[in-house]
């Protein structure tokens, strides 16, 4: 049985529809140009590029994306439709919507908690919705910044564009370089092959991995020091790569196995990566 069939079809359909919604908002943004000073400062201060360019999505597009994500979620998850109504009502904030989205980008816990409390929202559901609203807009910025900075000078455990943590790692075909894949904007950047992407541990005796029998494509790298883990894809063992979100969902059995052994995967933005 193919391993992806371990995930119910309705879940894959749900995320597939979310991806189609996000694709609607993946058009070009106004050009973003980095200055030479910004290129050097971002390396020296280890600060993600969005600290310098700012984040200014169009409020009407944010509103439409919010309504669409809520619609799809209610369609596939009718049991949370009542809770979604309050989140959907945030579309009426109009002028404040881009600010709300920016606060979710930087994971401003105080602001988010206040928003959730003020509007009597479900915190986890609100975070899920805004992550999926945020994703295409930040990915647009990442695409516009591609080629304007040197990824080979970035050695951090978080994304050079948005500061979020990686969702998985990739062993690139041909070069066999290890790349980390951003969970939010999908930027990929080189990272040391024998280093924990959670705590920077380089003690080879405490860095291990495990695989599932007969699966040559995926493995799970684990760190015995911080108990963190990350799923890894060997690009040479696949014909084409699927959408990153679908790959993450289809390999959920690896997350379950890792968590059963006591390992954890950090998510969200890396701490203190917003500097202005």
So what's the pLDDT on residue 216?
85
66: pLDDT strictly greater than 60: yes
pLDDT tops 60 at residue 3: no
Write down the pLDDT at residue 241: 83
What is the average per-residue pLDDT within 104-121?
A: 95
Rounded Cα gap, residues 50 and 55, in angstroms: 7
Query: Averaged over 177-199, what is the pLDDT?
Result: 95
- Is 4 domain-assigned? no
> Cα–Cα distances in Å, from 55 out to 18, 135, 159?
22, 12, 15
Q: Is residue 29 over pLDDT 60? A: yes
Task: Kindly state whether residue 58 falls inside one of the protein's structural domains.
Answer: yes
Tell me: do 37 and 136 sit in the same domain. Answer: yes
| 238 Cβ contact list (under 8 Å, min separation 6) | 217
Within a domain: 274 = no
pTM of the model: 0.91
The answer to the question of residue 2 being in a domain is: no
Domain around 49: 9-145
Do 127 and 23 sit in the same domain of this protein? yes
When pLDDT is averaged across residues 1-9 and rounded to a whole number, the result is 60
Same domain, 211 and 184: yes
237 with 179, same domain: the answer is yes
Domain with residue 245: its CATH number is 3.90.1670.10
CB burial readout 6-40, b (16+ within 10 A) else e: ebeeeeeebbebbbebbeebeeeeeebebeeebbe
What pLDDT, on the 0 to 100 scale, is given for residue 273? 58
pLDDT tens for 212-257 read 888 889 999 999 999 999 999 999 888 778 888 899 999 999 999 9
Contact predicate 241/247, CB 8 Å = yes
Do 131 and 185 lie in one domain? The reply is: no
Residue 274 predicted with pLDDT over 60: no
Residue 31 has pLDDT above 80, yes or no: no
pLDDT beyond 60 at 90: yes
In a domain, 272, yes or no: no
- Are 131 and 33 within one domain? yes
Residues 218 and 260 in one domain: yes
Last residue of a domain, one of 145, 173, 199: 145
Q: In the chain, how many domains are there?
A: 2
Do 125 and 206 lie in one domain? The reply is: no
Is 3 among the domain residues? no
Q: Kindly state whether residues 103 and 124 are assigned to the same domain.
A: yes
pLDDT tens digits, one per residue of 113-123:
999 999 999 99
* Domain end among 145, 177, 210: 145
Instruction: Give a three-class secondary structure readout of the chain.
Output: CCHHHHCCHHHHHHHHHHHHHHHHCCCCCCCCCCCHHHHHHHHHCCCCCHHHHCCCCCHHHHHHHHHHHHHHHHHHCHHHHHHHHHHHHHHHHHHHHHHHHHHHHCCCHHHHHHHHHHCCCCHHHHHHHHHHHHHHHHHHHHHHHCCCCCHHHCCCCCCCCCCECEEEEEECCCCCCEEEEECCCCCEEECCCCCCCCCCCCCHHHEEEECCCCCCCEEEEEECCCCEEEEEEEHHHCCCCCCHHHHHHHCHHHHHHHHHCCCECCCCECCCCCCC
Q: Both 119 and 178 in a single domain? A: no
Q: 135 and 161: one domain?
A: no
Domain assignment present for 276:
no
Residue 5 pLDDT: 44
Q: What percent of the chain has a predicted confidence (pLDDT) above 70?
A: 95
Q: 81 falls in which pLDDT band (50, 70, 90)?
A: very high
Same domain, 178 and 127: no
Task: Write down which residue in 126, 145, 164 finishes a domain.
Answer: 145
Determine the average pLDDT of the residues in 67-95.
95
């Amino acid at each position: 049985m193919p391993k992806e069939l371990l995930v119910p079809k309705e879940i894959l359909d749900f995320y597939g529809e979310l991806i189609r919604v996000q694709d609607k908002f993946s058009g070009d943004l106004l050009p973003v140009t980095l200055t030479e000073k910004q290129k050097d400062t971002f390396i020296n201060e280890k600060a993600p590029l969005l600290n310098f360019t700012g984040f200014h999505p169009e409020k009407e597009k944010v509103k439409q994306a919010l309504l669409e994500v809520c619609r799809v979620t209610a369609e596939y998850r009718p049991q949370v439709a009542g809770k979604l109504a309050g989140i959907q009502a945030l579309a009426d904030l109009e002028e404040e919507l881009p600010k709300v989205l920016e606060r979710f980008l930087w994971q401003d816990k105080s602001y988010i908690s206040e928003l959730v409390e003020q509007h009597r929202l479900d915190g986890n559901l609100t975070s899920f919705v805004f992550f999926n609203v945020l994703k295409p807009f930040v990915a647009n910025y990442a695409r516009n910044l591609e080629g304007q900075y040197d990824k080979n000078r970035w050695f951090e455990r978080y994304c050079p564009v948005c500061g979020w943590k990686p969702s998985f790692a990739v062993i690139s075909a041909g070069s066999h370089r290890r790349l980390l894949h951003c969970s939010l904007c999908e930027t990929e950047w080189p990272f040391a092959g024998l280093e924990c992407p959670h705590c920077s541990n380089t003690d080879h005796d405490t860095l291990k991995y495990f695989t599932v029998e007969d699966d040559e494509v995926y493995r799970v790298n684990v760190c015995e020091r911080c108990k963190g883990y990350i799923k890894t894809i060997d690009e040479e063992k696949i014909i084409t790569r699927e959408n990153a979100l679908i790959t993450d969902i289809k390999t959920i059995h690896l997350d379950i196995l890792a968590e059963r052994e006591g390992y954890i995967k950090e998510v969200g933005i890396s701490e203190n990566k917003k500097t202005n």
